Amino acid sequence: MVFTIRRVPAEKQRLLNVQEVFSLWDLLKTKYSGLQHLTIFINFIHDLDFKQIAQQRVEESRKEIKFLEELIAQYRIPAPQPVKKEAQSAINTEIFTDEFLASILLLFEQELVEMTLRAFRSAVTNDYIRKIFKDFVHRQIDWLDLTIKYLKLKGWLDQPPFYPNIPVSSNEQIDCSTAFQLWDHLTFRYANIEITEIYRIQAMDGDFKLLLKKGIQDVLKKEAIRLEKELVKFGISLPPQPKTIYENLGILQIPDQTMFKQLFMGMQSAAIVHAQALEHCTTNDRIRLLFNDLLKSEVEIIDNVIKYGKVKGWLEEAPRYSPIK
């Protein structure tokens, strides 16, 4: 990924809320810490391929740090203390195994997925900053996938217990965690379909009604069908399906804005559910790609829903940040 700082032309894009400021500061601080750990780890790595991957990650981190430093300066945000000197070690290089260092790197990549995702989903004031966080999310997902595949290739990943009830007709395996995540995702989507349909019936705003209908048909039901196929393939029992007909609902008298907020919070929660499934899906690469797709799709939907909510005036923004002059 090539980062570039562009001039912020619109006055609105110079505005930041306090959470966006903290997310930028915290991400840069984490990148400083990650770079320091990586430069230490490289001194102890024996495997040449692993060392090359770690060096690539170091170079990527330096580019990200430079980009974030310039961005924070542009918005006049006090920066965290940088690492004064990249560490060099004269300690016995046999003290750590490559497998141990790889496990630490994996934990770091897993945490960064959720960290960048939290920054993205709370960036509702400044569209430019949200796009930057979105780019970080996509990049971090790719780094996590690369790390998992490499550790599997080296045999450095502990194998979770396999799910034992897979039909003999299936030529794939999954572990118990993935079996639960597939079932949990479908349960979650069934609940999403039901509540979104109820809100669609109750909504008064015509645009909002159409948005909910499109979300049900183009996203929720399609994802549910995709998940159902996987549960059947792996012999996992399906959760009860949502109702399709709602009678005698009456008028709930829930304002459209309140329904929008509830659905938006549900999307934010869904993104974390996808991320956690992605982080721990190490046995089956194809299913991890499924969680990858679900997460990236949710990120795009959240981005568009934030824009829609701002146009409608339905999003309550966090307090604005005013730098000290």
Give me the tens of pLDDT residue by residue for the chain, a chain 325 residues long.
Answer: 445 544 444 555 678 999 999 999 999 999 999 999 999 999 999 999 999 999 999 999 999 999 999 999 999 999 998 876 655 555 656 778 999 999 999 999 999 999 999 999 999 999 999 999 999 999 999 999 999 999 999 999 999 999 999 999 899 999 999 999 999 999 999 999 999 999 998 999 999 999 999 999 999 999 999 999 999 999 999 999 887 666 666 666 789 999 999 999 999 999 999 999 999 999 999 999 999 999 999 999 999 999 999 999 999 889 999 876 6
Res 135: pLDDT? 97
Those residues with Cβ within 8 angstroms of residue 104's Cβ, 6 or more apart along the chain or in another chain: 37, 41
Residues 103 and 230 in one domain: no
Residues 140 and 209 in one domain: no
Encoded tokens for 268: 């934010």
Question: What is the rounded distance in angstroms from the CA atom of residue 173 to the CA atom of residue 164?
Answer: 9
Res 156: pLDDT? 95
Residues 288 and 181 in one domain: yes
Residues 33 and 145 in one domain: yes
Residues 234 and 268 in one domain: yes
Q: Is residue 323, in this structure, part of any structural domain at all?
A: no
Residues 147 and 259 in one domain: no
Res 26: pLDDT? 97
Residues 146 and 240 in one domain: no
Encoded tokens for 189: 């989507």
Residues 267 and 207 in one domain: yes
Residues 246 and 290 in one domain: yes
**CA 119 from centroid of its chain's CA atoms:** 10
Q: Which of 154, 186, 206 is the last residue of a domain?
A: 154
Residues 306 and 253 in one domain: yes
Question: What is the rounded distance in angstroms from the CA atom of residue 82 to the CA atom of residue 33?
Answer: 9
pTM beyond 0.75, yes or no: yes
CATH number for the domain spanning 67: value is 1.20.1260.10
Residues 16 and 148 in one domain: yes
Q: Is residue 186, in this structure, part of any structural domain at all?
A: yes
197: containing domain: 176-312
* Domain count along the chain: 2
Residues 59 and 121 in one domain: yes
3-state SS, residue 93: coil
Q: Is residue 25, in this structure, part of any structural domain at all?
A: yes
Question: What is the rounded distance in angstroms from the CA atom of residue 151 to the CA atom of residue 158?
Answer: 10
Determine the longest span between alpha carbons in the chain, in angstroms.
75
SS3 of 98-119: HHHHHHHHHHHHHHHHHHHHHH
Question: What is the rounded distance in angstroms from the CA atom of residue 7 to the CA atom of residue 28?
Answer: 20
Q: Is residue 321, in this structure, part of any structural domain at all?
A: no
* Look-up of token digits 């490289």: 42
Q: Is residue 290, in this structure, part of any structural domain at all?
A: yes
Q: Is residue 49, in this structure, part of any structural domain at all?
A: yes
* Look-up of token digits 């949710």: 298
